[in-house]
Amino acid sequence: MNLEDYRTLFAATTLALVLIATLPTVGMIVSIPSGKEQFSELWLLGPTHMAEDYPFNVRVGEQYRLFVSVGNHMGYSAYYLVYAKFRNQTDPLPDTLDATPSPLPALYEFQAFIMDGETWEAPLTFTFLNVSRLGNSSVVSEMSINDVVFSVNCSSNSGYYQLFFELWLYDTSLQEFQYHSRFVGIWLNVTD
């Protein structure tokens, strides 16, 4: 080996050592995609914390219990809203193709700040307070969610209604909550 070969070897070795020494600092500045899918979960559990025994045939004045849960797998701590909404069979659900929420008003809301990889759960009780019959239709006038009374004035020819929940995520760049394209619900046969 001649002197020029030693210089080239010395320069290459020095460059490699500098790169190795600065790699932790570069890792703090440049984020390399982890390949991990980012997503959130929204689910309902029945009164025994199981995916069973959901209420279906419900009566006026009786209290029913569910558990609303959110899982965060976004890769960062996230701030969520869960809206409870109520509809008959013809009222619109969220649009999964356009990722838009239901235009129905929210009756109740939960807020939760959830660390990455963690889950959050809240109990929900609901009671139908005022249901009447108008010909072949039933009309739910009032219901309570977690002991807060709401006027709903929702009618159905079949007596079937849906209590559903939408998941919203706080967008730090827009500084507002955005619908997160997740919803879940249960059908209820409201008898009087």
Closest C-alpha among 186, 192, 191 to residue 87: 186
Q: Are 154 and 87 in contact (CB under 8 A)?
A: yes
pLDDT of residue 25: 64
Q: Note the pLDDT of residue 65.
A: 97
pLDDT in single tens digits along all 192 residues of the chain: 776 776 776 777 776 666 677 766 655 565 555 567 899 999 999 999 999 999 999 999 999 999 999 999 999 999 999 999 999 999 999 998 899 999 999 999 999 999 999 999 999 999 999 999 878 889 999 999 999 999 999 999 988 999 999 999 999 999 999 999 999 999 999 876
Q: Which residues contact 70 (CB under 8 A, 6 or more apart)?
A: 40, 41, 42, 80, 82, 112, 114, 119, 120, 121, 167
For domain 39-191, is the CATH number 2.60.40.10? Answer: yes
Residue 40: burial class (beta carbons within 10 Å; 0-12, 13-18, 19+): middle
* Contact residues for 189 (Cβ-Cβ < 8 A; gap 6+): 56, 57, 58, 159, 160
Identify the pLDDT of residue 83.
98
**What integer pLDDT is reported at residue 167 of this predicted model?**
98
Question: Are 186 and 162 a contacting pair, CB within 8 Å?
Answer: yes
For position 7, what pLDDT does the model report? 77
Quick one: pLDDT at residue 90? 94
